[in-house]
């Protein structure tokens, strides 16, 4: 049968009808909110390129965490900006580091909030790359695995709920899994940045995390934006190494990758709605060029529709307020 018997517009006549037949629904429980923790006291520093997002010292982070928890957002993702950096990023595994202290504070202030920690070296190294460098500037993959494992173990000891390696070194999930297991953290989940692309959409994050490389770029370890079959191979290898949750980053320009990963593997899948995706919407809305709320909802719905079970997004608080209304 076809028109006029079938009229697709019948179920679009009112918001009530549209809601009844809606296929994809955003939920607060889908959301993970990124937080940037800095050294010092009484600091709440706005990030110019990311309106509404700030860097917090641990003491000022407490208020932000209580607000996130009160909104019903289930998890946060921590990034640390240390006081000192060196070529090896040694402050990454300092038991009194900014992330480690933030974990303990969050577990005190909001014990039910899931604390996910970014495991990478770029915020901690003086050169800004994601691992230990060789003399020619190439990142030494295998030497970096030990550093990442030490960082993940330090986060686990501080009380985090999930570790999330984002470095894109080969074999890092297996190395971290072994280290965690050897020290009794057999139940610590790993959320792996499995398909992390060398994307221009990370621009504002460089300011937020003070992590811009001092030379070159990250194309020798992050993925080529043109590749999807390679992404599926990366995800498969991470699953084989023990990843419990896999991730695609960025999200909006890689919806096809999210869909392919979810359909092929069926594992819990996260997607990172990255800084550039957030800032573009904020900037266009500030110019009056689009409706910020509608575009935010449409964008996040697209990520969920593509297959993401979890969405890491700087819009988490704004969306939670809308969903709670």
As beta bridge partners, residue 128 has none
Identify the DSSP state of 139. Answer: B
Q: Residue 37: which of 148, 195, 144, 160 has the closest Cα?
A: 160
Q: CA-to-CA distance for 255 and 245, rounded, in angstroms? A: 17
DSSP 3-state of 4: coil
> Distance of alpha carbon 231 from its chain centroid, rounded?
17
Set 249, 262, 282, 304: catalytic member: 249
* 249 assigned to active site: yes
Identify the DSSP state of 133. Answer: B
Dihedral angle of Cα 272, 195, 126, 160, to the nearest 10 degrees: 60
Q: Residue 58: which of 35, 74, 76, 84 has the closest Cα?
A: 35
Residue linked to tokens 């173990």: 153
CB count, 10 Å around CB of 303?
28
Residue linked to tokens 């995390």: 209
Two structure tokens written together for 70: 């009160």
DSSP 3-state of 67: helix
Burial class for 96, CB neighbours closer than 10 Å (0-12, 13-18, 19+): exposed
Q: Residue 167: which of 211, 134, 203, 207 has the closest Cα?
A: 211
Set 29, 107, 178, 196: catalytic member: 196
Positions marked active-site: 196, 249
């Amino acid at each position: 049968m076809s028109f006029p018997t079938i009229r697709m517009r019948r179920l679009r006549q009112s918001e009530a009808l549209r809601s009844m037949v809606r296929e994809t629904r955003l939920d607060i429980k889908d959301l993970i909110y990124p937080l940037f923790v800095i050294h010092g006291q009484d600091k709440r520093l706005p990030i110019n390129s990311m309106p509404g997002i700030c860097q917090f010292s641990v003491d000022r982070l407490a208020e932000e965490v209580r607000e996130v928890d009160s909104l019903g957002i289930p998890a946060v993702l921590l990034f640390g900006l240390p006081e000192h950096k060196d070529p090896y990023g040694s402050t990454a595994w300092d038991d009194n580091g900014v992330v480690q202290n933030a974990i303990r504070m969050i577990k005190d202030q909001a014990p039910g909030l899931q604390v996910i920690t970014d495991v990478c070296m770029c915020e901690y190294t003086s050169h800004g790359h994601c691992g230990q460098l060789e003399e020619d500037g190439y990142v030494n993959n295998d030497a970096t695995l030990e550093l990442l494992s030490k960082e993940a173990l330090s986060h686990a000891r501080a009380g985090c709920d999930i570790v999330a390696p984002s470095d894109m070194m080969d074999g890092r999930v297996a190395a971290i899994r072994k280290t965690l297991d050897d020290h009794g953290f057999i139940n610590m989940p790993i959320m792996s940045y499995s398909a992390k692309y060398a994307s221009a959409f990370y621009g504002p994050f460089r300011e937020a995390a003070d992590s811009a490389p001092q030379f070159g770029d990250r194309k020798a370890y992050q993925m080529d934006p043109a590749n999807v079959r390679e992404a599926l191979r990366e995800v498969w290898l991470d699953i084989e190494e023990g990843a419990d949750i896999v991730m695609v980053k960025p999200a909006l320009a890689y919806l096809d990758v999210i869909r392919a990963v979810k359909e092929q593997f069926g594992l819990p899948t996260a997607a990172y709605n990255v800084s550039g995706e957030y800032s573009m919407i904020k900037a266009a809305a500030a110019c009056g060029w689009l409706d910020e709320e509608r575009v935010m909802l449409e964008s996040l719905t697209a990520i969920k529709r593509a297959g993401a079970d979890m969405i890491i997004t700087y819009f988490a608080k704004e969306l939670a307020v809308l969903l709670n209304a």
